[in-house]
Amino acid sequence: MENKENGIIKNYLSGFLRVTLVAVLVFLQIVMIVGLTMWLRTYTLYFYTILEIASIIIIIGLVNDSTSSSYKVSWICTVLLLPLTGHIMYFLWGHTSSKQKIEKQVKSKLKHGETFYEFQKETVELFSKRYPTKSRMVRYLESQGFPLYKNNEVTYYPMGEDTFRAIFQDIESAKQFVLINFFIVGEGTLWDQMHKLLLKKLAQGVEVKFMYDDFGAMFRTQKNFKKKLEEEGFEIRVFNPIHKYTDKLYMNYRSHQKIIVIDGSIGYTGGMNLADEYVNLVHRFGIWKDNAVRIKGEAVWGLTVTFLQMWEVCKDGPMLDYTPYHTIESFPENEMFCQVISDGPANNPQNPVEEIYKQIIYYAKQYLYVTTPYLVIEESMREALIAAVSSGIDVRLITPAIPDKKSVKLLTNYNYGKLLKAGIRIFEYTPGFIHAKTIINEDCGIIGTINMDYRSFYLHYECGVFLCYRKKIDEIKKDLDQTMSISHEITYEEWKARPWHTKLAQQVLNVFATLM
């Protein structure tokens, strides 16, 4: 346990024991696979032929699969490096059919949630008149099941401490319900403040639904954390317990969403989690910079539906009626347009979040700014960024100088090369760790939970808000300009001067980029 500046980082043995148990189960599966492999090698002549046939089947299947090219390359390398062992691992864990039953159940619950959406043709028509070059993006998102909303008041928060200060104020005013979803929950000062406030609201008769990811909370909460909260009156759901699907490695799919909804009229999303480092009560990696948005208006219904969809995914049972969580409040007319978007592995290979990122890049006319803690991108995303800068667009990326994961930092740095050579400017946030997830051009952008990496686009359930309003975008740009002013700009010459051992490590890690 670490104490700094009134903050606390707690690590609990129970979480490590659970991970150890799951790791042992997976390891035993691998031992059985390797043992079977060694036994089969005694029949070399017969199984060499079978091995060759299996290799052809796997490669043909992967080439014709609709998954990403990085995913295919990782499995092809595994099969080539581990003959027979890699084949068995692929058929057990890598083949998409092994997860189809689970994903079918998830999709049915997501589809149920979509039935509570209403699409306003007039709103899209108004948007198209105001932003004719951006109407294609809005229509695409509506085709993926995300309605466009107007009449919103959006507040942008450049730091996590600003965000939680506002969240606490809004929860204090809650009259009916509070919906909360985080990826990481860490017991400490921030949690104590949140817990105390929520207990107060429960005593006042306010309904509290609290959801978190099992992996994100298991190391930093007590073993009886869920049980204790339920005894206090909380409704609790935990996404995808890590021990549930060890035979399918579905445990690798996590809910990375962050959503807070108060009485259906106010909602938040952004990069922040419920732990002390996110509000700089402790400095694990220097100054932690996150961002978020607060919405008051019609678009909050999108956040509410997204929350309730994942709430249902967490547990089997009768389908929920969402309508009691729809506010009856009316909001002042304005042209602050928002679309709440979400994504996850059940959507594969149709990934609307990745696609809308590309469209924001392609439709930039003046500039494109991106903040991401991790830059592990597919070739298609890299080419989109390069095409933008080649078209005269001012393209800038902000990544951390101080990483939270050194291996991912190596891959992030490795991905600088082609981008820098093409003329894209890359800044490393020298005060510490930038965890903010942002993409904006001159008219529109997304603030949410989405990192620009394979894990966010393919393995995590994510969410964000697509917003279009010039004054708000200008406000976000001003914050990012200020961030770049205190960051270090990486040059192509500096990147090329990396030590040889760093270059070698990066090339090896890049083979397994989809697993990181």
pLDDT digits over 116-138, tens only? 999 999 999 999 999 998 999 99
* Contact between residue 264 and residue 326 where contact means Cβ atoms under 8 Å apart: yes
What is the model's pLDDT at position 3?
42
At residue 30, the pLDDT reads 63
For residues 81-105, average pLDDT: 66
Query: Is the pLDDT confidence value at 2 over 50?
Result: no
Of 6-15, 103-112, 300-309, 461-470, the range with the lowest mean pLDDT is 6-15
First to last CA, the chain: 27
Whether the pTM exceeds 0.85: the reply is yes
Taking only the tens place, the pLDDT of each residue in 398-428 is 999 999 989 999 999 999 999 999 999 999 9
User: Residue holding tokens 């005593």?
Assistant: 203
Higher pLDDT, 2 or 287: 287
Model pLDDT, residue 333:
94
Mean pLDDT of 76-93: 67
Q: Which of 5-9, 294-298, 327-331 has the lowest mean pLDDT?
A: 5-9
CB 388 within 8 A of CB 363: no
Residue 283 Cα to chain centre, angstroms: 23
Q: Are 408 and 96 in contact (CB under 8 A)?
A: no
Rounded to an integer, the average pLDDT of 178-183 is 98
Cβ neighbours around 64 below 10 Å, total: 8
Long-range contacts: 455-458, Cβ < 8 Å, 24+?
A: 455/374, 455/376, 455/516, 456/256, 456/353, 456/374, 457/68, 457/343, 457/351, 457/353, 457/354, 457/378, 458/67, 458/68, 458/71, 458/345, 458/348, 458/351, 458/514
Dig out the tokens for 314 from the structure: 């967490």
